[in-house]
Copies of this chain bind each other. A is one copy, B any other.
Amino acid sequence: MKKTSNIGKYYYCFPQTVAMIGVQTNIMPAAWHTPISAEPPLYGILISPKRYTYELLIKENGFTVCFVDVSHAQLSAQTGSTSGRTVDKTKAFNITYTQAERVNGPILQDSYAAYECEKFDVKEYGDHFLFVGKIVLLHFQENVVNENRLTNEKKIAPMLYFGKDRYITTDPSSLAIHKRS
């Protein structure tokens, strides 16, 4: 093992599923996000204050988090490199969506699952802000989610970010159950 205190880009924690973050009619991809709490169901996303999404998140009372197939990687790159300040992304990239019910954000039609999150807390950490949302409504495609509400690895290829413009997906044949003893 090699070691360094010159941290720089620390991509080793990837891959991570890409979350498409929606506020008003704007969308951006985020690879920095995580569940925060089960009860109440809280979800956290990290957003740079340079982002237009940050401005919208400060104004609005919530956001959406959508998960799409890896076939949308080009869309992720496009929505991640343009700003809603100058581009209406849903029009520019032909994104079809419906309006969320409980918050002001889009639910992408191609999502296999999506969370509607009410803003719960905001905290600045270094060069990003943690926005914590309470999940108040779940959307999911019934044909890719089984009776335990797990995503079916054979029916969807999750879009994973692997750092520095690299996208990858899962190998469904590698799925294995390892029961807790």
Find chain B residues with CB under 8 A from A123 CB.
Answer: 123
Find chain B residues with CB under 8 A from A168 CB.
Answer: 153, 170-172, 174-176
Given A15-B160, A177-B166: A128 and B4 within 8 A (CB)?
no
What does the 1/0 interface line of A133-165 toward B look like (CB < 8 Å)?
A: 001111111100100111101000110101111
- Asked if A86 CB lies within 8 Å of chain B CBs, one says no
Report the Cα distance A4→B102, complex, angstroms. 12
Q: Which residue of B lies closest to A78 (CB)?
A: B181
Report the Cα distance A91→B78, complex, angstroms. 49
B174 near A1 (CB under 8 angstroms)? no
Given A1-B140, A140-B12, A151-B12: A77 and B180 within 8 A (CB)?
yes
Nearest-Cβ distance from residue A109 to partner chain B, whole angstroms: 8
Q: Which residue of B lies closest to A48 (CB)?
A: B38
Find chain B residues with CB under 8 A from A174 CB.
Answer: 70, 157, 168-169, 171
Report the Cα distance A76→B140, complex, angstroms. 28
Select one of B2, B15, B77 contacting A140, CB under 8 A: B2
Report the Cα distance A36→B36, complex, angstroms. 13
- Asked if A9 CB lies within 8 Å of chain B CBs, one says yes
Q: Which residue of B lies closest to A115 (CB)?
A: B10
- Asked if A103 CB lies within 8 Å of chain B CBs, one says no
Nearest-Cβ distance from residue A104 to partner chain B, whole angstroms: 17
